[in-house]
């Protein structure tokens, strides 16, 4: 069939893995500040802290992932686990936002009005936005569209990419690039004291913020390059993904959406 869809994809997930892979890459030793305020990280080198943070990320059974970048409108805010379950939202700014819930192979997606109007310009989109307001599209991962959207729910793939055990994303910095890895001054991120680990390479600056007390969880990563900034926020380590799913009365089959994509002659539901 000829599809008119403009897919809401989870490309930020791949970008996030690439940024984390770069942040934990080996760098040359450099002078670092003293241990004041470094908590349980005191006495460790920047490389050791970076390695320990990666270990915590790889060991996580679940977490919350948020991403944003000045280079584009795509934002993720999802809780996901190794079982492929997730709950949260994917936004592409003016192109629309969708809430997503995935349990096993079952997927629910609730688009906002901007999504409907972007997918179906004119009266068709306006009517769909009104008709399906607060309604979840429901199907399984066997549906190509839902599969593409729910790709963001794969925590295992994210961990493998961050660890470098999967095929590296195309924008992962080359291991041959000379870099330095240093410790910054302790600061506070969302109420938690963290220690920045800073990596500079080929005109880019990556800063990984690691919790100074208890387990050295990586909580924030920023990457600045060519006047653009990307940010990843990680939290809620090992907390279960919300398991609530929409009531049947709040859903319609994904076939409704697929029929509309095929053309106005098939749009009735």
Domain boundaries, the chain: 11-263
For residue 245, give every residue at least 6 positions away whose Cβ sits within 8 Å of its Cβ, in sequence order, or none. Answer: 101, 103, 106, 108
Could you give the CA distance from residue 193 to residue 188 in angstroms, rounded to a whole number? Answer: 4
Banded pLDDT at 261 (limits 50, 70, 90): confident
Taking domain 11-263, whether its CATH number is 2.50.20.20 is answered by: yes
Banded pLDDT at 19 (limits 50, 70, 90): very low
Q: Is the pTM of this model over 0.85?
A: no
Query: Residue 27, SS3?
Result: coil
Could you tell me the two tokens for 182? 């240093």
Backbone phi and psi for residue 165, each to the nearest 5 degrees, phi listed first: -95, 0
Please check whether residue 154 is in contact with residue 170, taking contact to mean a CB–CB distance below 8 angstroms.
no
β 86-92/204-211 pair status: unpaired
For residue 194, give every residue at least 6 positions away whose Cβ sits within 8 Å of its Cβ, in sequence order, or none. Answer: 186, 187, 188, 209, 210, 211, 212, 219, 220
Q: Over 80: is that where the pLDDT of 26 sits?
A: no
Higher pLDDT, 213 or 11: 213
């Amino acid at each position: 069939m000829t599809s008119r869809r403009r897919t809401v994809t989870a490309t930020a997930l791949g970008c996030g893995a690439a940024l984390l892979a770069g942040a934990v890459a080996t760098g040359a030793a450099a002078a670092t500040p003293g241990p004041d305020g470094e908590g349980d990280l005191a006495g460790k080198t920047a490389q050791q802290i970076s390695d320990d943070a990666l270990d915590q990320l790889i060991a996580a059974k679940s977490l919350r992932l948020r991403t944003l970048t000045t280079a584009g409108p795509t934002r993720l805010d999802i809780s996901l686990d190794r079982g492929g379950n997730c709950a949260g939202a994917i936004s592409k700014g003016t192109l629309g936002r969708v809430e997503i819930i995935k349990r096993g192979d079952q997927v629910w997606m609730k688009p906002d009005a901007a999504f409907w109007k972007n997918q179906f310009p004119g009266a068709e989109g306006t009517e769909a936005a009104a008709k399906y307001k607060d309604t979840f599209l429901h199907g399984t991962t066997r549906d190509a569209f839902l599969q593409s959207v729910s790709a963001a729910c794969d925590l295992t793939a994210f961990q493998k990419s961050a660890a470098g055990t999967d095929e590296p994303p195309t924008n992962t910095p080359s291991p041959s690039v000379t870099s330095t890895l240093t410790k910054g001054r302790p600061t506070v991120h969302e109420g938690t004291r963290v220690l920045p680990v800073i990596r500079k390479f080929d005109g880019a600056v990556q800063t990984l913020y690691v919790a100074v007390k208890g387990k050295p969880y990586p909580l924030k990563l920023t990457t600045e390059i060519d006047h653009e900034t990307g940010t990843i926020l990680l939290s809620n380590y090992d907390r279960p993904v919300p398991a609530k799913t929409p009531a049947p009365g709040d859903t319609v089959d994904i076939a409704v959406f697929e029929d509309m994509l095929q053309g106005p002659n098939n749009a009735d539901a």
